[in-house]
Structure 1
Amino acid sequence: MAESEAKWYVVHTYSGYENKVATDLKTTAENRNLQDMIIDVKVPVEIVTETVGDKTKEVENKLFPGYVFVKMVYTDETWYVVRNIRGCTGFVGPGSKPVPLTDAEVYRMGVETRSVKLNYSVGDSVRIIDGPLEDFVGVVEEIDADKDYVRVVVSMFGRETPVELELAQAEPIED
């Protein structure tokens, strides 16, 4: 089976067991020679600076407490391995059939990141190349590469309207 067939699935765990489930799943995949079937296991976190009194420290906060993301090729064997990890309560999906995440969900949730070559900047005119406003032209007002979004001001119905897009949904207009 190829990695191209692998999809991201969400596994529900007992609260506080996310890291244990992730490490146990990686270990079990190695022990059973399933590295080509269970490709990756992630617990998305964000680093937050907390201040208590006069002390500040950086803390990892889980973005989705109680959930672990698993990139795998879905078979009866991989289903069995994941379901039988201690602390795992099951896959997210109707009944016992897990539903894979779409590519858009994977990027939006921060499970995977994709690199977009940014060839425009604030003040440039861009054409929207995807979505309901496809082929509209606007001016870039704000760019946030970390959050994969750009704000473009588009003229529609005789008024300036700000529109938020993903970085890859706009391209510069060649003069």
Structure 2
Amino acid sequence: MKRWYLLYCKRGEQVRAKQHLENQGVECFYPTVEVEKILRGKRQKVEEPLFPCYVFVRFDYEKGPNFTSVRSTRGVVDFVRFGAQPKEIQGDLVFELKQLETYTDEHSNSECMPQPGDEVRVKSGQFAGIDAIYQEQDGEKRSIMLVQMITKHVPVSINNSDLDLK
């Protein structure tokens, strides 16, 4: 009977380990998440591992491959274990992670954020109660808003948690 286990891999070699494990007939799950980062001054979307250095694997150790051959696969350090035997992971947990991954692919973060030029109300913080015009994101947790100051709009960086995004 196939069971899920968790492997600890060498830093940066999870993809290599996954490829070699799949060549051995081992089912692998390596969840990633798309993150928007500013790299070299430009905003880019980057795939990052949800659990760095870890890969979920599913196989039947009685039919093969065995624990030793999986553990000695290139890029793998060892199983996550409690005591002498590798710890079995509940299949429901992996299933929920797979469901969550497909859900986040369908409902990306960019859909939640307003578009440039949209009017947004600031609900808390220094500018609470003020209507502002959304300009652009300023990192992962802040946005640049145009706030009316006396006679002109001034760009101000505001926490996304302070915005009323509805």
TM-score interval, smaller chain = 0.5 to 0.7
Percent of residue pairs identical: 25
Following superposition, which runs of at least 4 residues in structure 1 exceed 3 angstroms of deviation?
A: none
Aligned to 2:141: none
Counterpart check, 1:16 vs 2:12: yes
Aligned to 2:48: 61
Q: Distance in 2 between matches of 1:94 and 1:54?
A: 44
Counterparts in 2 of 1:103 and 1:26: CA distance versus 1, 3 Å: closer
Structure 1 residue 86: deviation in Å? 2.1
User: 108, 125, 146: which one pairs with 2:103?
Assistant: 146
Q: Distance in 2 between matches of 1:41 and 1:59?
A: 21
Larger Rg computed on CA atoms = 2
The amino acid across from 1:146 in the alignment is: Y
Deviations 1:119-159 (A, max 9, x none): xxxxxxxxxxxxxxxxxxxxxxxxxx937xxxxxxxxxxxx
Aligned to 1:92: 80
| TM-score, normalization by structure 1 | 0.51
* Structure 2: gaps spanning 5 or more residues: 105-166
Residues 59 and 65, structure 2, Cα contact 8 Å, conserved in 1: no
The amino acid across from 2:5 in the alignment is: Y
Structure 1 residue 90: deviation in Å? 1.0
* Residue aligned with 1:80, SS: helix
Deviations 1:74-111 (A, max 9, x none): 23742122111122111111233112211332234x1x
Aligned to 2:67: 79
* Residue aligned with 2:51, SS: coil
Q: Distance in 2 between matches of 1:13 and 1:6?
A: 21
* Residue aligned with 2:28, SS: strand
Aligned to 2:99: 113
Q: Distance in 1 between matches of 2:50 and 2:22?
A: 20
Q: Distance in 2 between matches of 1:52 and 1:68?
A: 26
Aligned to 1:7: 3
Aligned to 1:141: none
Q: Distance in 2 between matches of 1:88 and 1:26?
A: 13
Q: How many residues align?
A: 102
* Structure 1: gaps spanning 5 or more residues: 30-34, 115-144, 148-175
Aligned to 1:47: 34
| TM-score, normalization by structure 2 | 0.53
Q: Distance in 2 between matches of 1:88 and 1:95?
A: 19
* Residue aligned with 2:103, SS: coil
The amino acid across from 1:22 in the alignment is: K
